[in-house]
Amino acid sequence: MTGHVAQGSSSPALKAPPTPWPTRRLGPFEVSAIGLGCMNVCHAYGEPLSEADAARLLLAALEAGVTHFDTAALYGFGLSEEWIGRHLAPHRQRFVLASKCGMTGEPDERGVKVRVIDGRPATLKATCDQALKRLRTDVIDLYYLHRWDKRVPIEDSVGALADLVRQGKILAIGLSEVSAATLRRAHAVHPIAAVQSEYSLWTRNPEIAVLDACRELGVAFVAFSPLGRGVLTASPPDPAAFHPKDIRRAMPRFAPEHWPRNLRLQQRLAALARQAGCTPAQLALAWVLARGPHVHALPGTTRIDHLQEDLQALRVQPEAALLAELDATFTPQAVSGARYNAQGEDEVDTERF
């Protein structure tokens, strides 16, 4: 499998097989600068793909040169991990595998699975064992704490993940949606390889402190939803047509009182992309990658043509003046509405403007 090096080892970064795309360091690994987030195939934005279509997408990404695949126990309540295990396990040597624990689906009193945040050490270790079975692998390259359970000291949760490193079940530790202060506390317990948080033109909270903290500590920063949950593309979603299960229905930025203002921002992005000779998605991804050599972009998609379009962002090199215009257009004050509802905001530890 790709990358059997203990975190903190003096060994050089492990490289995935040759890829046509630029690579960046992700903990002890070297991966394609744009990875594939594997939530969309079965979770969050409506009905999941069929397994056959999901398999085609995963294999297309692999063949296109993606060497960083990211999933979680939460996605489809284990389904994303199952599909990756079933269809990518035969190619395990060709990519770096990331997954997450600490947020899973548990049955409520009606027997319906609901999202639960649980960072207790025993829970994290049990989730890892279940994930290894679903993923059909003996080691997860990068394992994130999906959300910090604020009832459990971060030192205890990271200590459990450090035990998994020592047991050889995972190779590196990541954190998701944490503040710079929490990152520093965790890093004092065990080296943190990566922080994964929402980051895009319309979600710039990491610029408050976490981006700089990651740079200082030598931690990779992985930007999820770098396309603004579909907004920063040539075909932004229609909130009125969202599937009943689409999580964006509960996000204020898509509400009627906020959406028209945000759509005008997308229209400005589209105009700038035309001037640059690329698509809006490519320009948005290129902006993310220009934030620093330690920054990775992790878009998700259900379509192979969108996957191929996203990867071409690695060929886009925006001029400094264009990047500055994007910065000035997409200020935190220009975006209307919070990124999560009140419950979602309470569940994350990230700094806020």
| Catalytic positions, written as ranges | 75
311's enclosing H/E stretch is helix 304-311
Q: Is the dihedral of CA 246, 302, 87, 146 positive or negative?
A: negative
CATH T-level assignment (fold) for domain 23-347: TIM Barrel (3.20.20)
Report the C-alpha gap between 272 and 329 in whole angstroms. 11
pLDDT band at 13 (very low <50, low <70, confident <90, very high): low
pLDDT band at 11 (very low <50, low <70, confident <90, very high): very low
The pLDDT of residue 238:
97
The pLDDT of residue 15:
59
141 within 8 A of 35, measured Cβ to Cβ: no
Report the C-alpha gap between 268 and 279 in whole angstroms. 12
Strand partners, 99: 143
Phi-psi category of residue 218: left, alpha or beta, with phi > 0 → left and psi -120 to 50 → alpha: left
- Surface-to-core class of residue 216, CB atoms within 10 Å of its CB (0-12 exposed, 13-18 middle, 19+ buried): exposed
Strand partners, 113: 107
The pLDDT of residue 139:
98
Mean pLDDT score, 179-185? 98
Helix (H, G, I), strand (E, B) or coil at 70: strand
134 within 8 A of 85, measured Cβ to Cβ: yes
DSSP 8-state secondary structure symbol assigned to residue 312: G
Mean confidence (pLDDT) of the chain: 94
Mind listing the pLDDT tens digit for each residue in 273-308? 999 999 999 999 999 999 999 999 999 999 999 999
Residue 213 CA, chain-centre distance (Å), reads 18
pLDDT of residue 184 exceeding 70, the answer is yes
Mind listing the pLDDT tens digit for each residue in 231-281? 999 999 999 999 998 999 999 999 999 999 999 999 999 999 999 999 999
Mean pLDDT score, 142-168? 98
Which position has the higher pLDDT, 189 or 17? 189
DSSP 141-172: EEEEESS--TTS-HHHHHHHHHHHHHTTSEEE
Report the C-alpha gap between 341 and 252 in whole angstroms. 6
The pLDDT of residue 206:
98
140's enclosing H/E stretch is strand 140-145
Report the C-alpha gap between 336 and 258 in whole angstroms. 5
How many residues comprise the chain? 353
Cα–Cα nearest to 126, from 94, 78, 186: 78
Mind listing the pLDDT tens digit for each residue in 16-53? 667 889 999 999 999 999 999 999 999 999 888 999 99
Helix (H, G, I), strand (E, B) or coil at 351: coil
**Domain range list for the chain:** 23-347
The pLDDT of residue 12:
52
Tokens at 300, concatenated = 């998700």
Greatest Cα-to-Cα distance within the chain, rounded to the nearest angstrom: 56
pLDDT band at 109 (very low <50, low <70, confident <90, very high): confident
The pLDDT of residue 185:
98
Question: Cα angle vertex 18, ends 17, 23, to 5°?
Answer: 100
